Amino acid sequence: MAEFKLGRIRFVWKSNWTASTTYYKDDVVFVGGKMYICVIGHESQSDFFLDFDITPPKWNIVSDGFQWKGDWAVDTRYIFNDIVKYGSRLYVCTAIHTSAATETLGLEADIGSWDVFGEGLDFKGAWSTTTRYKVNDLVRYGGYAYVCNTAHTSSATDALGLEADQSKWTALNAGIEYKGAWQGSATRYKLNDVVKYGASLWICTTAHSSTNNFATDESNWTQFVQGFQFENDWDTYKIYQPGDIVRYGGNQYVALENHSGSRPTDTLDDPNNWQLFTENFRFLGEWGEDSSNQDYKPGEVVRHGGYTYLCIADSNNNEPPNPTYWERLNSGLNWKGAWTDDTQYILGDVVRYGSSSYVCVQAHLSEGDDYSTIGAENSRPDQDATGTYWNSLAVGTETEFLTTKGDLVYYGGAGPTRLPVGSEGQVLRVSGDSIPEWTYLGATDDVYYVAPHGVDKPSPDAGRTIDKPFKTIRYACEQIEKGTRVPAVARMLEMNRQFITREIVEWTDYQVTNNIAPFTTAFTYNQEKCERDMGYIVDAFIYDLTHGGNVKSREAALRYVRDPGKFYALGQEAETVASINYGIGLIQKVLAGEAPAVNYQTTNGDNSTAVVAQYFDVNFTGLDTLEYNGAGGSTGTALGVNASIQDPDATGSGGYGGGDNDGGGYY
């Protein structure tokens, strides 16, 4: 094996090479992106290459490289491997030279001393006159984007435009540029310029300067979009052009030809003058009793009594519901108060007579059998046994509290109260405070029923009572093992498990950041372990709620104190308790169907963790109103973990806690 003696390696770094400097053997210098080592001692001349490009050379190359010189500059000395930016390209110097003296000559004057090092595009904005453009310069001209392929100076006038140097440009992208309304008087238009003329849009196909008349200029344009132009209400004296749109009644019509004086609905005129464009409604309020001076047009809507009518043909003094001119649009109600004699009632009028209300189904003049007028006989609501003029709308006292099929009304002390319809299989009973309620008859905790006539459905729809048993023992055992109590509560916690654990970590971070006791800004903890252990707490809560008792809650709490050697919360007892207490409060919010006062995931902002949204269910009634809301004291012992953590020697009564089989805790 070869031996290396470090003492013989004696390179001396001299930084950048300078002229008129004494250099010794093994001196190392930096020149033009390369490093050189002196092999013959000497005093440097005015140019490094006078000492390098000789035989024997006084320098040897140690490492090759490049030197960035920024933008190319005039009258500047460049050497091998210098890199400059010129236009959108990068160039590397291949020969020592001094650059051209003017910007007009540019790098192109010394192109033989450069190689292209990197390609790119340099956006110069809109094309302009008398401007020096370089290869790969990018400009916008009209609706097009162009890339320069030959360095040049642009034409001197807008009238000549880019077209004067068209061969020096390559089209990169064909777009459009909207120029507004077409202008005459020698306006310069470019390829793909778009203008509005009349109701349509036109696109330029040939670069040109416009004339004063679009008709003589039209050969330079192609119709781009056939458009429409709204001309307000139809006017018999106005000249209309193709694309003009007018409103006539509630509808809109589009002109197909140049014309005037042709009514859009008049079939006697040329049918090619107008075409129905849209069918709409135009509400005009109440139909006038004296309508001799008012014309109604198709699409106009009026209210007459409790109904609304749509005009379907030009009408004058034709009262609804005349089917020739009117079509019923909507059946409504028009409250007229108490019924009165000698009154004209029309369709949809509603009156009160006695304790009931009635709706008019046939227009008539009322008659109370006092023969004061020649009205409709037996037209008083209580006398209209055949329902010729009136139909019952509401009979007796109105019930205001029923919303769902099957609801009941009872007196709740403060007045009529709604009792929502119960669930399948429930019966009505009176509770201890004399309030009716729906319940399962014969249901007993921890007693389940199985019979051949039963149905294998989740409890409490089946299995809880003798009249609605499970069908098979296997299904019953699976349900009991899974837990049959408060399934809606369990699902609510399962759906919000990730929200709860994520929100606790974000709350803890907020306390630390803001130095809120018992936390300080110096406090550190394991976020992943905290989130994991609070998940165990939620799981324990779900199990005890669905099975009864507080077995899992106690086990979770004891994990914090079971093995002092693995007690991760030592020294952080107060902080651990604070985080768990916040988590318990968060669980209570979830079970109440409420959002917490502060969403700390949102408050803390972007911390590279996706925000987990809280899950809500409008049909969830909450823990305190469910039939099977007992969980064996889980809620009552939820805070028992506080004493367990603060006093590891205490036996504790259980409560929510975390940790896994390795004894890990929150922090």
**Which tokens is 477 given?**
């055992």
* Interval 318-357: pLDDT, tens: 888 888 888 888 888 889 999 998 899 988 899 988 767 8
Which three-class secondary structure state does DSSP give residue 292? coil
Once rounded to an integer, what is the mean pLDDT over residues 636-664? 36
Is 70 exceeded by the pLDDT of residue 556? yes
CATH of the domain spanning 284-394: 2.10.10.20
The confidence score (pLDDT) of residue 589 equals 86
Does residue 562 carry a pLDDT above 60? Answer: yes
The CATH class of 6-65 is mainly beta
* φ, ψ (nearest 5 deg) of residue 217: -100, -5
State yes or no: pLDDT of 22 exceeds 60: yes
What is the reported pLDDT for 504?
92
Contacts of residue 422, defined as CB under 8 A and 6 or more positions apart, other chains included, come to 406, 428, 438
Question: Confidence band (pLDDT; 50, 70, 90) for 629?
Answer: very low
Please list the residue range(s) of the chain that carry CATH number 2.10.10.90. Answer: 6-65
**Which of 120-129, 534-543, 639-648 is least confident?**
639-648
pLDDT digits (tens, 9 = 90+) for 485-507: 888 888 889 999 999 999 999 99
pTM over 0.95: no
**pLDDT at site 499:** 93
Helices 551-558 and 527-547: angle between axes, nearest 10 degrees: 160
Q: How far is CA 381 from CA 342, 356, 585, in A?
A: 13, 10, 61
And the tokens for 150? 């030959």
Q: What are phi and psi of 209, to 5 degrees?
A: -105, 130
Greatest pairwise CA separation for the chain in angstroms: 141
Cβ-contact 504, 582 below 8 angstroms: yes
**Three-state SS for 30?**
strand
The two three-digit tokens of residue 17, written as one number = 């090479």
| pLDDT tens digits along 178-188 | 888 888 778 88
* Phi then psi dihedrals of residue 296, to 5 deg: -110, 135
Give the Å distances, CA to CA, from 138 to 141, 143, 161, 428.
Answer: 10, 13, 16, 82
By CB atoms closer than 10 A (0-12, 13-18, 19+), residue 247 is buried
pLDDT tens, position by position, 193-231: 888 887 778 888 888 888 887 778 888 888 888 777 788
Q: How confident is the model at residue 269 (pLDDT cuts 50, 70, 90)?
A: low
Asked, as a colleague might, if the bond just before 56 is cis with ω within 30 of 0, I would say yes
Kindly report, as residue ranges, where domains of CATH 2.10.10.20 are found in the chain. 284-394
Quick one: pLDDT at residue 651? 35
Higher pLDDT among residues 94 and 515, named by residue: 515
Polymer length of the chain = 667
Average pLDDT of the residues of the chain: 78
Gap between the Cα atoms of 425 and 413, Å rounded: 28
pLDDT band at 415 (very low <50, low <70, confident <90, very high): very low
Identify the helix (H) or strand (E) that includes residue 540.
helix 527-547
Going by the DSSP 8-state scheme, the letter that residue 615 receives in this structure is P
